Chain A
Amino acid sequence: METRHVGRPVTRNEDPRLLTGRALFVDDVELPGLLHAAFLRSPHGHADILGIDTAAAKARPGVVAVITAEDLGEYWQPGPLLVPPPPIPGMTFRQRCQVPLARGVVRHLGEPVAMVVAESRYVAEDAVGDIVVDYAPKPVVGGLEGAVAPGAPRVHDDLPDNIAAEVVQRKGDYAAARARAAHVVRRRFLYDRGASIPMETRGIVASWDAKADRLTVWDTTQAPVVIRNGLAAMLGLSERQVRVVAPFIGGGFGPKMMMFYPEEVLVPWIALRLERPVKWIEDRLEHFVATTHERSQIHEAEIALDADGRILGVRDDFLMDTGAYNPYGLTVPLNSQCTLLNCYDVPAYESRFRAIYTNRTLVTPYRGAGRQHGIFVMERLLDAAAREIGLDRVEIRRRNLIPPGAFPYRNEVIYQDFAPLTYDSGNYGPILDKALKAIGAEGFAQEKAAARAEGRHLGLGVVCYVEGTGIGPYEGAKVRVQSSGKVTLATGIGTQGQGHFTAFAQVVAEQLGVDVRDVEVTTGDTDQFDWGVGTFASRGAVVAGAASHEAAKAVRAKILKAAAEHFECAEADLEIADGKVAIAGVPEKHVTLGTLARMANPLRGAVKPGTEPGLEATSYFGPEMGATAAGVHAMVIEIDPDTLRLDILRYVVVHDCGTVLNPLILAGQIQGGVAQGIGNAFFEQLAWTEEGQLLNASLADYLIPTALDVPRMELLHTVTPSPLNPLGTKGAGEGGAIPVGALFAQAIEDALDLPARGIEITEIPLSPSRLWEIVHGGD
Chain B
Amino acid sequence: MTQRIPVAVTVNGTTHRREVEPRLLLSDFIRHELGLTGTHVGCEHGVCGACTIRLDGAAVRSCLIFAVQADGHAISTVEGLAPERGRLSVLQQAFQDAHGLQCGYCTPGILMTVSAFLEDNPQPSEAEVRHALSGNLCRCTGYQHIVDAVLLAAQRLREAG
Touching in the complex, A and B, CB below 8 A? Answer: yes
- Name A's B-contacting residues (CB within 8 A): 11-12, 14-16, 18-25, 27-28, 30, 122, 196-201, 248-251, 253, 283-284, 496-499, 664-665, 667-676, 698-700, 704, 706-708, 710, 712-713, 736
CA distance A248 to B106 in the complex (A): 12
**In contact, B103 and A199 (Cβ under 8 angstroms):** yes
Point out the residues of chain A lying under 8 angstroms from B102, CB to CB. 251, 497-499, 668-669, 672
13 contacts across the A-B interface (CB closer than 8 A): A15-B101, A16-B88, A18-B107, A20-B81, A27-B40, A284-B45, A671-B143, A675-B143, A698-B43, A698-B45, A698-B47, A707-B143, A708-B134
Q: Is B15 an interface residue (CB 8 A)?
A: no
**In contact, A199 and B145 (Cβ under 8 angstroms):** no
A668-B140, A710-B144, A713-B142 are contacts. A20–B38 as well, Cβ < 8 Å?
A: yes
Point out the residues of chain B lying under 8 angstroms from A498, CB to CB. 102
* Nearest-CB residue, chain B, relative to A711: B144
**In contact, A676 and B96 (Cβ under 8 angstroms):** no
Residue from A15, A198, A736 with most neighbouring chain B CB atoms (10 Å): A15
**In contact, B78 and A21 (Cβ under 8 angstroms):** yes
**In contact, B130 and A497 (Cβ under 8 angstroms):** no
Point out the residues of chain B lying under 8 angstroms from A19, CB to CB. 78, 81-82, 88, 92, 95-96, 101, 104, 107, 111
Q: Is B69 an interface residue (CB 8 A)?
A: no
Contact of B137 among A14, A24, A704 (CB under 8 A): A704
Contact of B39 among A21, A664, A668, A712 (CB under 8 A): A21
Distance (Å) between the CB of B144 and the closest chain A CB? 5
CA distance A201 to B79 in the complex (A): 22
Point out the residues of chain A lying under 8 angstroms from B147, CB to CB. 707, 712
Q: Is B158 an interface residue (CB 8 A)?
A: no
Q: Is B67 an interface residue (CB 8 A)?
A: no
**In contact, A16 and B130 (Cβ under 8 angstroms):** no
A667-B145, A668-B145 are contacts. A251–B140 as well, Cβ < 8 Å?
A: yes
Point out the residues of chain B lying under 8 angstroms from A673, CB to CB. 142
Distance (Å) between the CB of B122 and the closest chain A CB? 19
**In contact, A707 and B79 (Cβ under 8 angstroms):** no
CA distance A175 to B88 in the complex (A): 65
Distance (Å) between the CB of A650 and the closest chain B CB? 13
CA distance A34 to B48 in the complex (A): 27
Task: List 9 additional contacts besides A499-B102, A710-B143; criterion CB under 8 Å.
Answer: A20-B78, A21-B78, A24-B37, A197-B139, A250-B40, A672-B102, A698-B43, A707-B146, A708-B131
Point out the residues of chain A lying under 8 angstroms from B107, CB to CB. 18-19
Point out the residues of chain A lying under 8 angstroms from B48, CB to CB. 199, 284, 699
**In contact, B134 and A198 (Cβ under 8 angstroms):** no
Distance (Å) between the CB of A248 and the closest chain B CB? 7
Q: Is B19 an interface residue (CB 8 A)?
A: no
- By secondary structure, the A interface counts as loop
**In contact, A284 and B43 (Cβ under 8 angstroms):** yes
A675-B142, A707-B143 are contacts. A497–B44 as well, Cβ < 8 Å?
A: no
**In contact, A671 and B96 (Cβ under 8 angstroms):** no
CA distance A497 to B102 in the complex (A): 4
Q: Is B41 an interface residue (CB 8 A)?
A: yes
Can you list, as one digit per residue, whether each of B91-134 has a CB less than 8 Å from chain A (1) or not (0)? 01001110101111111100100000000000000100111011
CA distance A201 to B142 in the complex (A): 19
CA distance A122 to B21 in the complex (A): 10
A18-B104, A250-B40, A698-B45 are contacts. A122–B134 as well, Cβ < 8 Å?
A: no
Point out the residues of chain A lying under 8 angstroms from B142, CB to CB. 668, 670-675, 710, 713, 736
Distance (Å) between the CB of A160 and the closest chain B CB? 40
Q: Is B36 an interface residue (CB 8 A)?
A: yes
Distance (Å) between the CB of A451 and the closest chain B CB? 21
Q: Is B141 an interface residue (CB 8 A)?
A: yes
Point out the residues of chain B lying under 8 angstroms from A499, CB to CB. 102
**In contact, A699 and B104 (Cβ under 8 angstroms):** no
CA distance A24 to B105 in the complex (A): 10
* Nearest-CB residue, chain B, relative to A200: B105
User: For chain B residues 1-51, which have a beta carbon within 8 Å of chain A?
Assistant: 21, 23-24, 31-32, 35-45, 47-48, 50
Distance (Å) between the CB of B45 and the closest chain A CB? 6
Point out the residues of chain A lying under 8 angstroms from B88, CB to CB. 16, 19-20
* Nearest-CB residue, chain A, relative to B42: A199
Residue from B37, B138, B140 with most neighbouring chain A CB atoms (10 Å): B140
Q: Is B62 an interface residue (CB 8 A)?
A: no
CA distance A249 to B103 in the complex (A): 6
Point out the residues of chain B lying under 8 angstroms from A698, CB to CB. 43, 45, 47
CA distance A698 to B95 in the complex (A): 29
User: For chain B residues 39-81, which have a beta carbon within 8 Å of chain A?
Assistant: 39-45, 47-48, 50, 77-79, 81
**In contact, A250 and B105 (Cβ under 8 angstroms):** yes
CA distance A658 to B125 in the complex (A): 36
